[in-house]
Structure 1
Amino acid sequence: MNETQDRIPTPCPACSPELETVHEVLSTGGAVTVRCSECGHVHKVQPEPEREVTVDVVISQDGESVTANVTTPEGETIAVGDEFIVETEEMLATVRVTSVQVGDEKRVEEATADDVVTVWSREVDNVGVNVTIHPQDGSREDSRSTTVYVPGDDEFEVGSVEAFGDDEFEIDAVVVRDDAAGYDRDRYELEGDAVLAKDAKRVYAYDQQTSAWSAW
C-alpha cells in the first residue's frame, strides 16, 4: 500500500468486507485512516509491509575489491551513479554504483532491485585521482603521472595550484568520470571550472617546481 496515495482500494468492514472498494486516505501513520467512498464509513487499515531483497555489492578501492550486501525494497531502482552507504564489520563507506549486473555477465545502466544479481561500485569517501603533470615548458615527452589521495568531496579547480608531498602543480584540465552526474561536459579546462574529486577521472596539470625537471 502506498501511503502517499489520496485514494486506495481496500475492503470496507461496513458495506464490503469481502471486496475492495475505493477509500479516501484521511491520515497516515502507523495505521492509515480511510473513508469508504461507497458508504462513508471511516476506519483504519494497516499498510502492507514493503518487501525487501538483499543485493550483493562489490566495492572497489585502490585496486582491491571487497564484497558486501545491502537490503533494499524489491521495487527500488538501482542505477549507475547512485550513491549509498555500505556497512560491514570491516568498513563503513559511501559507494557509487558503476555497473548493475542482472544476469550472467549482463550489465545494464539500471534495474529494479529484485532483478539485480550484483551491484558493482567504488568507494567515494576517499579516492585516488590520477594526475598527469607536464613540465612548465609544455613539453609532453617528459610528462609524468602520479596518483593523489583526497576526500571524495574535495574539488579540483582549473587554475588552482595544489601541493601533494613533493609535487606542486597548477591544474590545467579535469576529465570527468562516466558515472558522474550533474556535469554538462566530460572535460573542464576553463579557469574556475571545478570538479569533485570523486567525479574526476584524470587531472592534467603543469609542474610548479622549477627544479623538478632538471636532468641532474
Structure 2
Amino acid sequence: MIREIFCDTCKDETPHRLINPSKNLFQCEVCNSVTEYKKEKKIEIRAIISKDDYSERGKIEVGPSETLTVGEEIVVETGEGYRLGEITSLELKNGKRVDVAGVEDIETVWLRDVGEVKVRFSLHKGAVTTAYEIFTPGEVEFSVGEVIPIEGRKYRITRIKLINGGLLRKDGRIAKAKEIRRIYAQFIR
C-alpha cells in the first residue's frame, strides 16, 4: 500500500510504502526513512448553512488539530447533499461568537451558501430603476463596464457593491458573484 505522507527527512509529502501493518510503519520511497503514521480521526461539528432567507442544518468533518476562520470556505454535508459554504461566524461551546477558533472549542459553525448565490441588480433606464435577481454559481465573475443581456435588453454594469462594503467603479474591476451585494447597470440602446 502506497500513501502520500509528510516525510520529516524530505520536508515534503512523498510516497510511502506500508512495511509493517500492525505498527503502522511506512517507508519513504524517496529517502527510505521509516515513520509511524496514524490517520487523524475526524470530528463532526454542527453547521448551519444559509441561502437567502432559508437555513439548513448540516455537519462538517474536520481534524481535531485544525483551526477554523471566518471567511474560510468549507464543504457542509446536509440532508440534501453537499454544499459549499463560507464561514460567517463560529459559535463556541460557551455561547461566545469568534472569528478564529480551534475545532475542539466550537459548538456550531455558521455559513452562507456560496455554491449558488442570488445576485441582485438595479437596472436603470432613464428615470426608472427596476430590481432584478438571478441565481448563478458563486465563482462567476462580473466586471464594471461589462455589457450583459437581461430579458432581451442590454445593460452596461456601472458599479458593483460588495458584501464587505466596498464599491467597484472603475472599468475592468472584477468581483465574483459570491462577493457581490448588488450590481448597478445602465440600459444601452
Superposition TM-score, scaled by structure 2 size: 0.76
Partner of 1:213 in structure 2? none
Of 138, 143, 147, the residue aligned with 1:157 is 143
Do 2:119 and 2:180's aligned partners in 1 also have CA atoms closer than 8 Å? Answer: yes
Q: Deviations over 1:34-61 (max 9, x none)?
A: 9xxxxxxx99553244243211110111
Do 2:67 and 2:101's aligned partners in 1 also have CA atoms closer than 8 Å? Answer: yes
Partner of 1:143 in structure 2? 129
**Greater strand share, structure number:** 2
Do 2:57 and 2:78's aligned partners in 1 also have CA atoms closer than 8 Å? Answer: no
Do 1:155 and 1:195's aligned partners in 2 also have CA atoms closer than 8 Å? Answer: yes
Do 2:66 and 2:102's aligned partners in 1 also have CA atoms closer than 8 Å? Answer: yes
Question: Once the 2 structures are TM-superposed, how far is the Cα of residue 168 of structure 1 from its aligned partner?
Answer: 4.5
CA distance in 2, matches of 1:114, 1:29: 32
Do 1:3 and 1:47's aligned partners in 2 also have CA atoms closer than 8 Å? Answer: no
1:33/1:150 CA distance change after superposition, 3 Å:
closer
The unaligned stretches of length 5 or more in structure 1 are 8-26, 35-41, 179-184, 210-216
Do 2:9 and 2:33's aligned partners in 1 also have CA atoms closer than 8 Å? Answer: no
CA RMSD between the two structures: 3.0
The unaligned stretches of length 5 or more in structure 2 are 19-24
| Amino acid in the other structure paired with 2:122 | T
Percent identity over paired residues: 25
CA distance in 2, matches of 1:133, 1:166: 13
| Amino acid in the other structure paired with 1:165 | E
CA distance in 2, matches of 1:175, 1:60: 21
1:75/1:167 CA distance change after superposition, 3 Å:
farther
Do 1:175 and 1:186's aligned partners in 2 also have CA atoms closer than 8 Å? Answer: yes
Do 2:58 and 2:79's aligned partners in 1 also have CA atoms closer than 8 Å? Answer: no
Of 192, 202, 209, the residue aligned with 2:182 is 202
Could you say what secondary structure the match of 1:117 adopts?
Answer: strand
CA distance in 1, matches of 2:38, 2:81: 33
Question: Is 1:96 aligned to 2:76, yes or no?
Answer: no
Partner of 2:73 in structure 1? 83
Could you say what secondary structure the match of 1:143 adopts?
Answer: strand
Q: Deviations over 1:144-168 (max 9, x none)?
A: 4332211111111101122333664
Superposition TM-score, scaled by structure 1 size: 0.67
| Amino acid in the other structure paired with 1:198 | K
Could you say what secondary structure the match of 2:104 adopts?
Answer: helix
1:193/1:77 CA distance change after superposition, 3 Å:
same
CA distance in 1, matches of 2:87, 2:148: 29
1:154/1:44 CA distance change after superposition, 3 Å:
closer
Partner of 1:60 in structure 2? 50
CA distance in 2, matches of 1:61, 1:167: 28
Of 43, 46, 51, the residue aligned with 2:36 is 46
Partner of 1:69 in structure 2? 59
Partner of 1:14 in structure 2? none
